[in-house]
Structure 1
């Protein structure tokens, strides 16, 4: 039986395209997740409290609570970066139109 050899090429292209779309979708969701985390931290830290002391406590507390379950992506340094990320891009629509998670965190 003869098999059209282009089927292999076509299927490989479908697989590659699907993988790329999945990566982009995950990148997009990670970007939004980090932005929303940063926003929530910023909102909590600016309710008239002593900013420096409370902010330091809050970040440390969040890291202690989140890192055991979600891993090193929630260490003190990373959580500070999420907050800074929100402060840099306070409008989420502008954010995801310009950047993806891999552009931000892998560079």
Structure 2
């Protein structure tokens, strides 16, 4: 899981939870929830911030099922991203859509 990867990398690099949160400019409580797998689906922006601190490609923080044997996103994900970009959707619009979907799934039925 992504939280376990982040925790492992943080410890490997001798960073405290506070240090990593500060360097990535994310809330310490949110980072803690990710590491403890309470927050299972952090936004791509958060993953990108953490990857930048660790100086790693984003793919190395993503769950295994989204990554192929070469450490790259699988072809389905790449195709979906390409279709979104080709349709004229900006990264911000796509991010907003994802946030809306997360919110919608949490609403009572």
Larger Rg: 1
TM-score (norm 2): 0.28
Higher share in helix: 1
Higher relative contact order, chain-length normalized (CA < 8 Å, sep 6+): 1
Instruction: Give the TM-score, by structure 1 length.
Output: 0.28
